[in-house]
Amino acid sequence: MSSTIIEVDPDAALLPERIRRFPFPFASDTYRYSANVEPATKTAPTEAGAWGAHLVDIDEHYLDELAERAKVLSRDPSRVNVLPHMRPAVWDALTTLLSSMAEDYPDTMSFHREGNICRWRNGLQNLEVEFTFGDDSSLPEGPLRFLGSQIQDDIILLDVREDTLWLDAGLVTFAADWSFGFDVGMNFLEIHHPVPRVKEERIISRAEQFLLRLQPGEQFRRTNWTMTIGRRMDTSTETYPEWGRDRSTIADDPAMPEKLHLRVEVQHLIRLPHSGALLFLVRTHLLPLADIARVPAWREKMGHVLAELPDDMAEYKGIIRYRKAASDWLLAR
Amino acid sequence: MTAIALQPSVHPAVEGGLHLEVTNVSRQTEMIVSITLAAPAGGRLPSYVPGSHLVVQYGSGVNAYSLTGSGNAPSEYTISVLRVEEGAGGSVAMHRLCVGDRVNVSRPRSAFAPASTATHHLLVAAGIGITPILSHARAAVERGNSASMIYVHRPRAGAHVGEARALLGPGLTALVECIDRGSFQNVLAEALLTQPLGTHLYVCGPVVFMDAVLEEARSQGWSSARLHSEAFGAAELDEGEPFTVHLAHSGVRLEVPAGVSLLETLETAGKSIPNMCRKGICGECVLPVLRGAPQHRDLYLSDQEKAANTTMMCCVSRSNDPELELDL
């Protein structure tokens, strides 16, 4: 864990926005799990540009990903669930995030609240709505589905009780190889049980203590990563039959550089101000290897990380069958 | 010894907080005054969790006071202060505040939150302890939750009695006022035996009062998970004792005052220390210790590492010895 000096690539200005804004997660040539949390909304420079200035990030995929989410939800309603005691937390999350977006994107969005009457305008969707804070029926599909139609992030709400975090509500359509429906109602340690190494390294219990000590209004973030074949957002356990087999064929696919994506999650951890619940946002970014390779420092770092990653971690991330092919391709250029 | 301090410096406990104006002062009882604060320019203040408190600066000191509202999108904060003549001077200073005065306060801090899964909230207050209990009652009414209240106060000296009575309805279903110890004992004993399954109990008042209520509840078979008492500031790290660090490489000695972290002290002295979370979890700001016993307050080092006293997390940890020597 060393601090690194990031030198911006001289040709970075010529790169497309999807590369310049990409939250490249590797600071060095190796990767291990760590509690890599830092305060939210701090601009993070990369060799190709920067990311992270806003809590809710909106990019060129905004409308496409929201349309994709709507399709997933109509096929599989188990991707959204709110245990009854989490209703105040859902409303807290909705008003917190809408007012944050209005501040960050004043040209396209605005949020006004008088008492419990709220007005939200979203120019990107030609949308103007009025609703009543706390009244589920004032939004056609309820407050959580509505929030899920305004932000690209997956939304998870954890209740804080008995000195433990409980996953008691959420809307998750873009899971990276896990099942929201399976995890609802579990506590923090149960959710993370399958992750290798972290129990020995006490990362999960430390992370939970950290989250329990956050004061309402505090906002932190971290990144996590895996790899995905195709620009596929929904890689949940529920759809495994559709995407699982790609993992054994991609290594020999001549189109691997275009098909194989680095999948980075920018995760926000927010202690909500009024309910005190913990809001966990997961914003998924996908960038194909062909684009990674256009930034020489990224190509090298990712190539070395994939080559060095211990087998148990590669196995858990589901990349063990093709990580060598990907690493070889990146380092051969 | 100093010249007139026109602008007293901001206390570390309220740093990053709010600068508010007194917009109303109203006497609740002979000894209790309610103070309303708002942003000088008007507008919304941060929402807060029911039962939260504000840390308020008076002169060079700070005190914590419970907020009495529900915390839902407020445009003002109201606290009530009991005048304590033999205290550190905070309550006396607070009682001197007038409309138009400006004060530095922290953001609201939560250490007495309602349990979201409770089927019923049994709220028990004594004296000035009514303040966070009133906040809980208001939130229960707003959220459509079920609550009942027992309030012990001196005859004709109950603060916020009118406001509590006005909340009675489908949310706050009962308010029992007790003005002597004997009647309270009976009311509490009865209440502890007749609550619906899944009730949580919240108590605020003098420490001996809270201890007695909790003890009685436990002896009636209530599990600790369903008992909540106000503990100001328990969730935050205390500001700690001042200490000195000796930087072995440069020979420099730096004083780390109470309320200021070692990391901040080093940064102020121009040292660049890699850091990330500044909360004692990420492990980035680890420093090698050559001499002295750090007071470890982080979540990163293992128990063995802490016992070895050869490293410390300078964002939260301090010193048990008057001086630490760092390999820096």
Cα(B300)–Cα(B308) distance, rounded to whole angstroms?
Answer: 14
Assess whether B217 and B124 both reside in one domain: yes
Percentage of chain B exceeding pLDDT 90: 73
The token duo for A40 is: 């939210």
Angle ∠(B6,B9,B14) on CA atoms, nearest 5? 130
Closest residue in A to B302 (Cα–Cα):
A202
Check CB contact of B302 with chain A, cutoff 8 Å: yes
CB pairs under 8 A between A and B: 97
Assess whether B222 and B263 both reside in one domain: no
- Write the DSSP symbol of residue A29: S
A5 band by pLDDT with thresholds 50, 70 and 90: low
User: What value does the mean pLDDT of chain B take?
Assistant: 90
Percentage of chain A exceeding pLDDT 90: 86
Assess whether B274 and B192 both reside in one domain: no
A155 band by pLDDT with thresholds 50, 70 and 90: very high
CATH number of the domain bearing residue B23: 2.40.30.10
- The alpha carbon of residue A115 is apart from the nearest alpha carbon of chain B, in Å, by 8
SS3 of chain B: helix, strand, coil, percent, to 5 = 25, 30, 45
Residue at B169 is within a domain: yes
Cα(A325)–Cα(A252) distance, rounded to whole angstroms?
Answer: 8
Pairing of strands B243-247, B199-204: unpaired
For residue range B110-150, what is the model confidence (pLDDT) as tens digits?
Answer: 989 999 999 999 999 999 999 999 999 999 999 999 999 99
Residue at B143 is within a domain: yes
Assess whether B203 and B274 both reside in one domain: no
Taking contacts as CB-CB distances below 8 angstroms, the residues of chain B near A116 are: 73
Q: Which residue has the higher pLDDT, A163 or B290?
A: B290
Ramachandran region, residue A44 (left: φ > 0; alpha: ψ -120 to 50; beta: rest): beta
Lowest pLDDT segment from A20-24, A167-171, B64-68: B64-68
Pairing of strands A38-39, A50-51: unpaired
Contact A72, A145 (CB under 8 A): no
Cα(B276)–Cα(A38) distance, rounded to whole angstroms?
Answer: 5
**How far is C-alpha B236 from the geometric centre of its chain's CA atoms?**
8
Assess whether B227 and B247 both reside in one domain: no
**Of B143, B254, B24, the residue nearest A89 (C-alpha):** B143
Cα(B199)–Cα(B193) distance, rounded to whole angstroms?
Answer: 11
**Which of B202, B231, B260 is at the close of a domain?**
B231
- A69 annotated active-site: no
* CB–CB contact B49 A273 (8 Å): yes
Probe site for chain B from A198, A269, A275 (most B CB atoms < 10 A):
A275
B281 band by pLDDT with thresholds 50, 70 and 90: confident
Q: Which residue has the higher pLDDT, B79 or B10?
A: B79
Taking contacts as CB-CB distances below 8 angstroms, the residues of chain A near B71 are: 273-274
The token duo for B291 is: 């001499």
- The CA–CA distances, whole Å, from A29 to A177, A311, B292 equal 25, 16, 36
B64 band by pLDDT with thresholds 50, 70 and 90: confident
ipTM: 0.89
Residue at B5 is within a domain: no
Question: Structurally, how many domains does chain B consist of?
Answer: 3
Assess whether B140 and B226 both reside in one domain: yes
Strand partners, B168: B172
Q: Which residue has the higher pLDDT, A117 or A207?
A: A117
Alpha helices in chain B (DSSP H): 90-95, 130-143, 161-166, 181-194, 207-219, 262-268, 303-308
Assess whether B222 and B190 both reside in one domain: yes
Taking contacts as CB-CB distances below 8 angstroms, the residues of chain A near B296 are: none
Taking contacts as CB-CB distances below 8 angstroms, the residues of chain A near B49 are: 216, 273-276
Q: List Cβ neighbours of B143 (8 Å cut-off, separation of 6 or more).
A: A88, A134, B171
* CB–CB contact A215 B115 (8 Å): no
CATH number of the domain bearing residue B316: 3.10.20.30
Q: List Cβ neighbours of A319 (8 Å cut-off, separation of 6 or more).
A: A226, A227, A247, A306, A326
Q: Which residue has the higher pLDDT, B237 or A28?
A: A28
According to the model, what pLDDT value does residue A10 have?
74
**How far is C-alpha A59 from the geometric centre of its chain's CA atoms?**
14
Cα(B50)–Cα(B111) distance, rounded to whole angstroms?
Answer: 9
Angle ∠(A62,A64,A69) on CA atoms, nearest 5? 95
B232 band by pLDDT with thresholds 50, 70 and 90: low
* Strands of B18-27's sheet in order across: B61-66, B53-58, B102-105, B18-27, B32-38, B77-82
Taking contacts as CB-CB distances below 8 angstroms, the residues of chain B near A39 are: 277-278
Is pLDDT above 60 for B233? no
HSE-up (13 A, CA, CB side) for residue B265: 22
Q: Tell me which amino acid residue A185 is.
A: G
Is pLDDT above 50 for A1? no
Angle ∠(B315,B321,B325) on CA atoms, nearest 5? 65
Out of A36, A86, A210, name the one closest to residue B299 (CB): A210
Contact A266, A51 (CB under 8 A): yes
Closest residue in A to B273 (Cα–Cα):
A3
Closest residue in A to B74 (Cα–Cα):
A115
Average pLDDT over residues A2-15: 72
Assess whether B125 and B214 both reside in one domain: yes
Is pLDDT above 60 for B1? no
DSSP line for B59-115: TTEEEEEEB-S--SS-S-EEEEEE--TTSSSHHHHHHT--TT-EEEEPPPB-SSPPP
**Which of B72, B105, B138 is at the close of a domain?**
B105
**Domain with B167 in it:** 120-231
Cα(B197)–Cα(B215) distance, rounded to whole angstroms?
Answer: 19
User: What value does the mean pLDDT of chain A take?
Assistant: 94
User: At residue A241, what are phi and psi to the nearest 5 degrees?
Assistant: -55, -25
Look-up of token digits 């509590």: B164
Contact B210, B230 (CB under 8 A): yes
Residues in chain A: 333
Check CB contact of B300 with chain A, cutoff 8 Å: yes
Check CB contact of B327 with chain A, cutoff 8 Å: no
* CB–CB contact A162 B48 (8 Å): no
Residue at B49 is within a domain: yes
Is pLDDT above 90 for B237? no
Residue at B215 is within a domain: yes
According to the model, what pLDDT value does residue A124 have?
98
Contact B80, B99 (CB under 8 A): no
Cα(B34)–Cα(B288) distance, rounded to whole angstroms?
Answer: 50
Closest residue in A to B71 (Cα–Cα):
A274
Residue at B133 is within a domain: yes
Cα(B326)–Cα(B319) distance, rounded to whole angstroms?
Answer: 12
Cα(A233)–Cα(A174) distance, rounded to whole angstroms?
Answer: 5
* CB–CB contact A160 B113 (8 Å): yes
According to the model, what pLDDT value does residue B231 have?
65
Residue at B216 is within a domain: yes
Is pLDDT above 60 for B92? yes
Average pLDDT over residues A173-182: 96
A67 band by pLDDT with thresholds 50, 70 and 90: very high
**Which of B70, B105, B140 is at the close of a domain?**
B105
Is pLDDT above 60 for B234? no
Assess whether B216 and B253 both reside in one domain: no
Residue at B7 is within a domain: no
Percentage of chain B exceeding pLDDT 70: 95
B101 band by pLDDT with thresholds 50, 70 and 90: very high
Assess whether B124 and B226 both reside in one domain: yes
- What residues in chain A have their Cβ under 8 A from chain B's Cβ atoms? 1-3, 34-39, 85-86, 88-89, 92, 95, 113, 116, 133-134, 159-162, 202, 206-207, 209-210, 213, 215-217, 220, 273-277
Which of A87, A121, A222, A247 is flagged as catalytic? A222
Look-up of token digits 């190539």: A303
Its pTM stands at 0.88
Assess whether B136 and B196 both reside in one domain: yes
Contact B107, B77 (CB under 8 A): no
Assess whether B165 and B101 both reside in one domain: no
- The alpha carbon of residue B284 is apart from the nearest alpha carbon of chain A, in Å, by 7
Lowest pLDDT segment from B61-75, B223-237, B270-284: B223-237
Average pLDDT over residues A23-32: 95
